[in-house]
Amino acid sequence: MGDKLIACILSLTLVAAPGSIYADAMDLPDFGSPADNVMTLAEQRELGIEFMKWMRQSLDISTDPLITDYIQTLGHRLVSASRETRGHYDFFVVEDPRINAFAGPAGNIGVNAGLILAAETESELAAVLAHEIAHVSQNHLLRAVAAQKQMTIPAIALLVAAAVLGATVDGQAGAAAMMGIQGAVAQRQINFTRANEEEADRIGIDTLARAGQDPYAMPGFFKKLTQANRVYESGAPELLRTHPVTSDRIADALGRAERFGPSQKPDSLRFHLTRAHLWELSFNRADQAIDHFQDTLQKGRYRNETAEHYGYALALARAGRVNDAAAQLEPLLSADPSQVEFVVLQSQLDRRRGNAAKAARDLKGSVGLDPGSWPLQQAYAEALMDAGKPGEALATLERLVAQRPDVTPVYQLMADAAVKAGDSTSAMRWRAEYLYRTGDLEPAIRQLELALRQPDLEFHLASKIQVRLDELQAEERRSKHHGKPER
C-alpha cells in the first residue's frame, strides 16, 4: 500500500512553503485518483487525528467555545453552500497575530487570530475560508514523494505537519518537527500551481455568492494585503507567502466576481463580537485592554459599538472588576437577551460573584432552546459544577456530545465532572475519548480497558465501552499494518 498511501497524503497536503514560487503544472507528478480511492475514510480520519496531534503540540489552538464555535459555524455554512464539497471539515482558530490560514489532511482548516482581526468584513474572512475549503474539495496535490516509500500514517502526518509549521509559523519550527522522522523521509518544497490557486479562487467565489457573502471580498482582501505589503517593511503577510497573489490573479478574480454582482449582506453581530474578543485577548495585561477599549469608545473609533462595549466588559472582567463589567454588559443583554456571548459572560460574572446557582438557573432556559450550542452547554455545565451538581453537569455534556462529538475540549471537562460526581468508570471513559481525539491512541485504549474492569459495571454501559474499545483497537491494528512493507 506504500506508494498509494503516500499519493493520498500528498493529495491532502494543502499548504505552501514560505517564499515558494509557483510550480509549472507540467513538472507536477500525476497521482490520478481521488484520495478516497487510495485510502479508506477511516485511514483519512486517522491521518487527520495524527496531524492535529502535531498541531496541538506546536500551535496555540484556541479552546474557547465562543471563538471556536463562531469559526466552525461560518465554515460549515460555506461548506453547505458549496457545490464542490463533501466529507468532514473541522475549523479552528490559532492564537497567533500573524495573518494566515491553512488547510491540512481530512479537512482540518486553521485560521490565525491575526487574519480574523485583519478582516474588516465578514465576507473577507469568509473569502479566505472558502478558498481553503476549495483546496480541500479539489484534492490539490503538490507534494514531492518522500525518500522512503513505506511509511506509517503517523510518520506521514508528521511530514505534513512539518510542512505546515514551516509554511505558517517558521522554518525552524518545521525543521524541529522533521527531526521526529529521524531521517526516514526528506521534506521537499511544496508549491501551489497558478492553476490550483485560480481554481480555488473560482470555486471559492462561487461558494461566497451561494452563501450570501460578497464575492468581491476575495479579490478585495488579497489586494488590500498586497497594498499593505508595499507600505510596510516587515515583510509580506504569511497568507501571501503561502498563497502568492499576482495582479493577473486579482483581475481574474474580479472578473469572476462581476458575474455574480456585489452583495450588501451586513456582517453578523457574532463576527464583530468575535473580533472584539480576540482584540481583548491580544493584550498581555487587562489594564492594557481596558485602556484600548476606553480609548476607542471615547473617540468613536470602532466598526460596531455593541462589540466594543462587549470587549470592554471582557477586559474589566479579566481585571477582576466584576461589577464594572456587569454594568457594561447589562444594556447589551437587555437589548439582546439571547445573544450567546452576552449570556455566557453574564453566567461567568455570576459565578465570579459566588452565585453559581443563579447562573445555572438563568442558563437552563437558554440551553433548552439551543441544545446543540457548545458555548451555552459548557457554560451551563461549569455553573452546575460550581453549584455542587457535577452529576447534572456530566449529563448535560453527554447530551451535547451526542449531537456534536467534534467538540474535543469538552471531553476533558466531562472527565472532571465524572470524577467530582464519584463516577470513576465514566471518568475513564471520557478521559479515553479526550486522549483519542488529541492523538494519544494507546493511552486511550488503556483507559477503556481499565473502565471495563471496574466493579458493578452495568451491562448497558459495559457494552458501549466494549464497542468503543473494539473500534480503537482496530484502528491501532490498522496503524501498525500500514508500516509493514508490501510483498
Contacts of 434 (CB under 8 A, 6+ apart): 408, 411, 412, 414, 415
Burial category of 249 from C-beta neighbours within 10 Å (exposed 0-12, middle 13-18, buried 19 and up): middle
One-letter amino acid of 242: T
Give residue-wise pLDDT tens across range 92-123. 999 999 888 988 878 899 999 999 999 999 99
pLDDT of residue 18: 33
Q: What are 356's three cell numbers?
A: 453559581
Q: What is the full per-residue pLDDT of the chain (487 aa) written as tens digits? A: 333 333 333 333 333 333 332 333 223 333 333 444 446 677 777 778 888 888 888 899 999 999 999 999 999 999 999 987 777 899 999 999 988 898 887 889 999 999 999 999 999 999 999 998 988 887 654 333 333 345 667 777 777 777 777 655 554 444 454 444 433 343 333 445 677 778 888 999 999 999 999 999 998 888 887 765 544 444 545 565 556 666 777 888 888 888 888 877 899 999 999 999 999 999 999 999 999 999 999 999 999 999 999 999 999 999 999 999 999 999 999 999 999 999 999 999 999 999 999 999 999 999 988 888 999 999 999 999 999 999 999 999 999 999 889 899 999 999 999 999 999 999 999 999 999 888 788 999 999 999 999 998 999 999 999 999 999 998 888 767 655 443 3
pLDDT of residue 39: 61
Cβ-count burial 29-51 (b if 16+ within 10 Å, e if not)? eebeeebeebbeeebbbbbbbbb
Phi-psi category of 104—alpha, beta or left, where left has phi over 0 and alpha has psi -120 to 50? beta
Task: Provide the 10 A C-beta neighbour count for residue 455.
Answer: 6
Contacts of 200 (CB under 8 A, 6+ apart): 131, 132, 134, 135, 138, 140
Cβ distance 398 to 414 under 8 Å? yes
Residues 154 and 163: their CA atoms lie apart, in Å, by 14
Residues 386 and 129: their CA atoms lie apart, in Å, by 37
DSSP 264-330: -PPPPHHHHHHHHHHHHHHSSSHHHHHHHHHHHHHHT--S-HHHHHHHHHHHHHHTT-HHHHHHHHH
DSSP 61: B
pLDDT of residue 79: 95
- Nearest Cα neighbor of 62 from 98, 91, 26 is 91
pLDDT of residue 117: 96
| Count, residues in the chain | 487
* pTM of the full structure: 0.83
- Nearest Cα neighbor of 88 from 121, 54, 136 is 136
Q: Is 91 helix (H, G, I), strand (E, B) or coil?
A: strand
Give residue-wise pLDDT tens across range 217-258. 998 888 887 765 544 444 545 565 556 666 777 888 888 888
pLDDT of residue 304: 97
